[in-house]
Structure 1
């Protein structure tokens, strides 16, 4: 009888743990536990893949915009798959960004966009421990237990990535980043493009040069709206919602940077989204450790 109770207790505990993980969206970061699923480097703002798709979009619509992906809104996994078009201050080209992830550290009206060397945040599958200095009392000030990846995507040390939240706060810091993922064997080139992908240092510099980041601060979102996701974005992320044409106003907010190298929440649609995404457009394809080969 006692043995039966123990078995029942262990079974119930396992079920509760699985349910809690599902509620949280993703209980671990791939790469920190040894899995071979990582965030694709060419999802970063300013990558050749993004630039090529921006060019195709301009040819189709006449609109000169910049593309990006990331998280939007406080603990809001329900935004995954939505696209927003917004303007920034100081001004730059309008940005169209798709929500591909979510996280407990994201604030209301904050868009946390993937940029080269943009900062780990809570998770880290890029490298070893980094400086946890932050200006507030959010998770970047805590000693979370997943600070060291089992198989980091890049081979690099503590000082090369800058602050845990935000990465390098000055453009000059970009030169200390590693250039390429650890297992990359050749310089990648997007299908249809005649230009190779830039290395991580260049991606970091472009995020400053193309207007998504400023030295020692964050760009402010002056407003925008939800828009139907361009086909060029769907080709990048494989995400499209059933309510893709629904309109939403986007209030003022803050654009921040991130790059934790973890496979995003949209890689696990059954956990994060239920049936809000179209059946054949419901999962982003993460990359292997080389940062460019899709799983």
Structure 2
């Protein structure tokens, strides 16, 4: 195989014994990273790229030539200049987005499964990848339908008996890139977003949020708004208010009755572009499903509002707008991931425009 990658100071040519000419065609999905491959040879044309074959997107031009899956998560002050300089979470992953509602309808028509779809943060030591990329069927007290949600994030603050669902203004957490900075996704200060953990504590407070990102075109075209996404979470009862209750605002959460690993619906994977090779066969939770030992849960309550209790058996909520941990190549094991879907495909600062994550640098040497 002959792979030609043109670097800024020199041209590296890796030759196989074939001696074929360097009249190269674009490799699989990596053309935007200046890779090429001699026609007729086997193997990929993406050099050392980690995620060849991924869905195309716009190029990130991050500080220090960071691009692709290395596109930096810290918002840049230059984000409003038109160039994509940092990576964010996608807003159409948010519970109740028009894209997710459409995906739910298609999935129901195809499979007969009437569920909500979503993404969020989950962590379990029982999984080889701590749950990243896996989908879980959640049964939540008070919620009309089960939720099939994909874990795009994991961290020290989540565990296998809790799921942190991305919902509109669900709490910007410790790594907020939603508001308050020049390069944040949304305009204005963070005060309108409510509590750091838990976010907006009443449906009425959703109205004080900014309607759209600083670059509003894509969200408007999608038929979404931050206010509507916030209100949807209240309407579907995936969040609770602490108004008038002893613990106060942002302390109360619905109780998880079951968390079982299931097959990821293609309609959901189409939005995230992360998919594992070891998915279960079906979408239903069953006696043989992979679960934490504490599920199904028939006795425990979410008691996050009480001092000394953690968030066990809680459906918590978040929305930090930040590039998720599933978008970093070092957090995933390639042998567990589908070709071209090894890492999450992140978004530009408008929350909808996808970034090209085939590779992590120009010339395909990373």
Give the 3-state SS of the residue equivalent to 1:281 in structure 2: coil
Q: Within 5 Å, which residues of 2 pair with 1:137-152?
A: 149=181, 151-152=183-184
* Superimposed CA distance per residue, residues 166-224 of structure 1 (whole angstroms, 9 cap, x where no aligned partner): 101221211111110001235444xxxxxx42200110000110221122221111013
Q: 1:108 to 1:229 in 2, by over 3 A?
A: closer
C-alpha RMSD over aligned residues:
2.2
Q: Within 5 Å, which residues of 2 pair with 1:231-270?
A: 231-245=266-280, 247-250=289-292, 251=295, 252=297, 253-268=313-328, 270=329
- Tell me, yes or no, if structure 1 residue 87 matches structure 2 residue 129: no
- Tell me, yes or no, if structure 1 residue 230 matches structure 2 residue 252: no
Q: Within 5 Å, which residues of 2 pair with 1:67-146?
A: 67-73=117-123, 78-128=130-180
Give the 3-state SS of the residue equivalent to 1:156 in structure 2: coil
The question of whether the paired residues in 2 share the 8 Å contact of 1:100 and 1:266 is answered with yes
The count of aligned residue pairs is: 242
Question: What are structure 1's unaligned runs of at least 5 residues?
Answer: 1-25, 129-148, 190-195
TM-score by length of 1: 0.76
- Tell me, yes or no, if structure 1 residue 287 matches structure 2 residue 347: yes
- Tell me, yes or no, if structure 1 residue 165 matches structure 2 residue 200: no
Rounded Cα–Cα distance in structure 2 between residues aligned with 1:102 and 1:177: 27
Question: What are structure 2's unaligned runs of at least 5 residues?
Answer: 1-69, 79-84, 243-251, 282-288, 298-312, 356-366
Give the 3-state SS of the residue equivalent to 2:338 in structure 1: strand
The ranges of structure 1 where at least 4 consecutive aligned residues each deviate by more than 3 angstroms after the TM superposition are: 32-35, 74-77, 186-189
Structure (1 or 2) with the greater helix fraction: 1
Q: 1:173 to 1:74 in 2, by over 3 A?
A: farther
Name the residue aligned to 2:240: 214
* Superimposed CA distance per residue, residues 109-133 of structure 1 (whole angstroms, 9 cap, x where no aligned partner): 11111111011111011112xxxxx
Give the 3-state SS of the residue equivalent to 2:275 in structure 1: strand
- Tell me, yes or no, if structure 1 residue 198 matches structure 2 residue 232: no
Rounded Cα–Cα distance in structure 1 between residues aligned with 2:184 and 2:353: 16
Structure (1 or 2) with the greater strand fraction: 1
- Tell me, yes or no, if structure 1 residue 42 matches structure 2 residue 104: no
